[in-house]
Amino acid sequence: MSCEHLICAQCAGPVVEGRCPVCREGRAKLHDQEPGGISPALVLLILTVLLFFTLALKHLTGG
């Protein structure tokens, strides 16, 4: 989410400009958030690698 188009309820100014303490706090909260979790592409990659290792191990043990 971006604060680019948000309007502050305290000062009615754009949050991105940070005119008042409420704007600055909201802007900091939005920009300081780390992306949550791991991406679906990374999960798929990990599962694919695990599948290949499992198949290779099964093939090597003759099972």
Residue 22 lies in a domain: yes
pLDDT at 49: 97
Residue 34 within a domain: yes
Look at residue 31 and tell me if it is in a domain. yes
* 3 part of a folded domain: no
Range of the domain at 48: 15-61
- Enumerate residues 6+ apart whose C-beta is below 8 A from 20: 8, 10, 11, 13
**Domain assignment present for 4:** no
37: which DSSP letter? S
Is 39 contained in some domain? yes
**Full-model pTM:** 0.45
Domain total of the chain: 1
Q: 57, 1, 50, 53: which is closest to 29 by C-alpha? A: 1
Render each residue's pLDDT in the chain as its tens digit; 63 residues. Answer: 566 788 888 999 888 888 899 988 888 887 766 566 678 888 999 999 999 999 999 999 886
Q: 3 near 16, Cβ under 8 Å? A: yes
Q: Is the residue at 2 inside a domain?
A: no
Q: Is the residue at 30 inside a domain?
A: yes
